[in-house]
Amino acid sequence: MADDTETSADSAPRSRRPRRGAGGVTLHEVARIAKVAPITASRALNTPDRVAPATLARVREAIERTGYVPNTLAGSLASSRSRLVAGVVPTVVGPVFQELIQSLDDSFAAAGYQFMLGQSGYNASREDALIEAIIGRRPDGIVLTGAVHSETGRRRLQASRIPVCETWDLTDTPIDTLVGFSHEKVGTAVAAHLVATGRRRLAVLTGDDHRALRRKAGFVEAVRAAGLAWDSGDGVPTGIVGAPTTAGSGRTGLIDLLARYPDIDAVFCSSDLLAVGVLIEARARGLAVPEALGVVGFGDLALSRDFDPPLTTVRIDGTTIGRLAARFIVDRVEGRPVAERVIDIGFSVIRRASS
Binding site for DNA (CB under 7 A): 13, 16-24, 26-28, 36-40, 42-43, 45-46, 49-52, 54-55, 70-71, 74-75, 77-79, 81
Quick one: what does residue 54 bind among a second copy, DNA, none, with the CB cut-off 5 to 8 Å set by partner type?
A: DNA
* Single residue of 96, 269, 276, 311 touching a second copy by CB under 8 A: 276
Q: Which positions ≥6 away from 70 have C-beta within 8 Å?
A: 27, 45
Q: Which positions ≥6 away from 72 have C-beta within 8 Å?
A: 82, 83
Q: How far apart are CA 158 and CA 172, in angstroms?
A: 15
- By the rule CB under 8 A, 227 interacts with a second copy: no
* Single residue of 32, 65, 111, 114 touching a second copy by CB under 8 A: 114
Smallest distance from the beta carbon of 55 to DNA, in angstroms? 3
Q: How far apart are CA 93 and CA 112, in angstroms?
A: 27
* Single residue of 181, 298, 307, 347 touching a second copy by CB under 8 A: 307
- By the rule CB under 8 A, 28 interacts with a second copy: no
* Single residue of 32, 65, 119, 210 touching a second copy by CB under 8 A: 119
Smallest distance from the beta carbon of 305 to a second copy, in angstroms? 7
Q: Is 67 helix (H, G, I), strand (E, B) or coil?
A: coil
Q: Is 268 helix (H, G, I), strand (E, B) or coil?
A: strand
- By the rule CB under 8 A, 283 interacts with a second copy: yes
Q: Is 83 helix (H, G, I), strand (E, B) or coil?
A: coil
Query: Please, which residue, 55 or 319, has the CB nearer to a second copy?
Result: 319
Smallest distance from the beta carbon of 355 to a second copy, in angstroms? 19
Q: Cα-Cα-Cα-Cα dihedral of 318, 320, 325, 331, to 10°?
A: 160
- Residues within window 47-86 making contact with a second copy, judged by CB under 8 A: 67, 69-74, 76-77, 80, 82, 84, 86
Q: How far apart are CA 310 and CA 314, in angstroms?
A: 13
Smallest distance from the beta carbon of 52 to DNA, in angstroms? 3
Q: Using an 8 Å Cβ cutoff, are 226 and 177 in contact?
A: no
Quick one: what does residue 48 bind among DNA, a second copy, none, with the CB cut-off 5 to 8 Å set by partner type?
A: none
Quick one: what does residue 46 bind among DNA, a second copy, none, with the CB cut-off 5 to 8 Å set by partner type?
A: DNA
Query: Please, which residue, 33 or 51, has the CB nearer to DNA?
Result: 51
Q: CA angle at residue 13 from 11 to 15, to 5 degrees? A: 150
* Single residue of 55, 60, 111, 121 touching a second copy by CB under 8 A: 121
Quote the distance between the C-alpha of residue 33 and its chain's center. Answer: 44
Q: Using an 8 Å Cβ cutoff, are 74 and 130 in contact?
A: no
What strands lie across the sheet with 238-241, from one edge to the other?
A: 238-241, 202-207, 266-269, 294-296
Q: What letter represents residue 146's amino acid?
A: G
Q: How many residues does the chain have?
A: 355
Q: Using an 8 Å Cβ cutoff, are 176 and 211 in contact?
A: no
Quick one: what does residue 52 bind among DNA, a second copy, none, with the CB cut-off 5 to 8 Å set by partner type?
A: DNA
Quick one: what does residue 308 bind among a second copy, DNA, none, with the CB cut-off 5 to 8 Å set by partner type?
A: a second copy
Parallel, antiparallel or unpaired: strands 114-119 and 266-269: unpaired
- By the rule CB under 8 A, 219 interacts with a second copy: no
The closest alpha carbon to 171, from 149, 152, 140, belongs to 149
Q: How far apart are CA 256 and CA 239, in angstroms?
A: 8
Query: Please, which residue, 246 or 312, has the CB nearer to a second copy?
Result: 246
- By the rule CB under 8 A, 320 interacts with a second copy: no
Residues that bind a second copy (CB under 8 A): 20-24, 67, 69-74, 76-77, 80, 82, 84, 86, 91-95, 98-99, 101-102, 105, 109, 114-119, 121, 126, 130, 132-133, 135-138, 155-156, 159-161, 246-248, 250-251, 273, 276-277, 280, 283-284, 302-303, 305-308
